A and B are shown apart, each in its own frame.
Chain A
Amino acid sequence: MLVWLVGMASSRLMKWVASLTALATGGLTLKLLFALPVEPVEGVFWIPNAAVKIGLNLTGLGVWVAVVAGCVGAAAVIFSLKYMEAEEKQYPPTRYYFFTMLFIGSMIGLALADNLIIMYLFWELIGLCSYFLIAYFYMDPKAVRSGTKAFVVTRFGDIGFLFGIVVLWKATGSTNVFDILAMANAGEISMLMVGMAGAGFIAAAVGKSAQFPLHVWLPDAMEAPTTISALIHAACLVNAGVYLLALTYPIFMYLGWWAPVVLWIGAITALLAGVLAVMEFDIKRVLAYSTVSQLGFMVAAVGAGGIFASQFHLVNHAVFKALLFLCAGAIVHAVGTRDLRQMGGLGAKMPITKVCCFVGVAALAGIPVLNGFWSKDLLLDSVMMAGDWAAVPLIILIVSAALTAIYSLRMYWMVFSGPKAYEAPAHDGPWQMSVPLVALALAALLMWLAVGFYCSQAIAGVQFHIVPVEMSLADMFHHTVTNPLLAVSGLVVLIWIVLAVSWSRSGKVLSVEGRGVTALTETKFGFDPLYQGVIALIGGFCRVLRRLQTGDLNYNVASAAVGLIIILLLLAAR
Chain B
Amino acid sequence: MWSIYWSVVILLFCLGIYTLIFRHNLIHLIIGIEVMAKALCLGVLVGAFQHGGGVFSVGQSIVITIILIEVATTAIALSLVVAASRHTGSIDIAQLRQLKG
| CB closest chain-B residue, reference A558 | B21
Chain A residue nearest in CB terms to B101? A546
5 nearest interchain CB pairs? A551-B100, A551-B97, A557-B20, A553-B93, A558-B21
Contact B100 A550 (CB under 8 A): yes
Q: Is the CB of A554 within 8 A of B20?
A: yes
- Can you report 19 A-B residue pairs in the complex whose CB atoms are below 8 A from each other? A546-B101, A547-B101, A549-B101, A551-B96, A551-B97, A551-B100, A552-B94, A552-B97, A553-B29, A553-B93, A554-B20, A554-B21, A554-B23, A554-B93, A557-B17, A557-B20, A558-B21, A561-B17, A561-B21
Is B98 an interface residue when CB atoms closer than 8 A count as contact?
yes
Q: B22 on the interface (CB 8 Å rule)?
A: yes
Residues 71-101 of B at the A interface (beta carbon under 8 Å): 93-94, 96-101
A547 to B97 Cα, complex, angstroms? 13
The reply to whether the CB of B24 lies closer than 8 angstroms to some CB of chain A is: yes
Question: When the two chains form their complex, are residues A550 and B97 in contact, meaning their CB atoms are under 8 A apart?
Answer: yes
**Interface on A for B, CB 8 Å cutoff?**
546-547, 549-554, 557-558, 561
Using a CB–CB cutoff of 8 Å, the interface residues on chain B facing chain A are 17, 20-24, 29, 93-94, 96-101
**Cβ–Cβ contact B101 & A557, under 8 A:** no
State how many angstroms separate the Cβ of A558 from the closest Cβ of chain B. Answer: 5
Residue of A nearest to B26 (CB): A553
Q: How far is the CB of A551 from chain B (nearest CB, A)?
A: 3
Q: How far is the CA of A558 from the CA of B94 in the complex (A)?
A: 15
B19 CB to closest chain A CB, in angstroms? 9
Count A-B contacts at CB 8 Å: 31
* Bound Cα distance A270, B24 (Å): 65
Q: How far is the CB of B15 from chain A (nearest CB, A)?
A: 13
CB–CB A554/B24 < 8 A? yes
Query: A557 near B21 (CB under 8 angstroms)?
Result: yes
B-side contacts of A553, CB under 8 Å:
29, 93, 96
Using CB atoms, name the residue of chain B closest to A561: B17
List 17 extra interface pairs beyond A549-B100, A554-B21, A558-B21, CB under 8 A.
A546-B101, A549-B101, A550-B97, A551-B96, A551-B98, A551-B100, A551-B101, A552-B93, A552-B94, A552-B100, A553-B96, A554-B20, A554-B23, A554-B93, A557-B20, A557-B21, A561-B17
| CB-CB nearest in chain B for A564 | B17
**Separation of A551 and B96 alpha carbons in the complex (Å):** 8
Residues of B within 8 A of A546 (CB): 101
A553 nearest CB neighbor, chain B only:
B93
Residues of A close to B22: CB separation below 8 A? 554
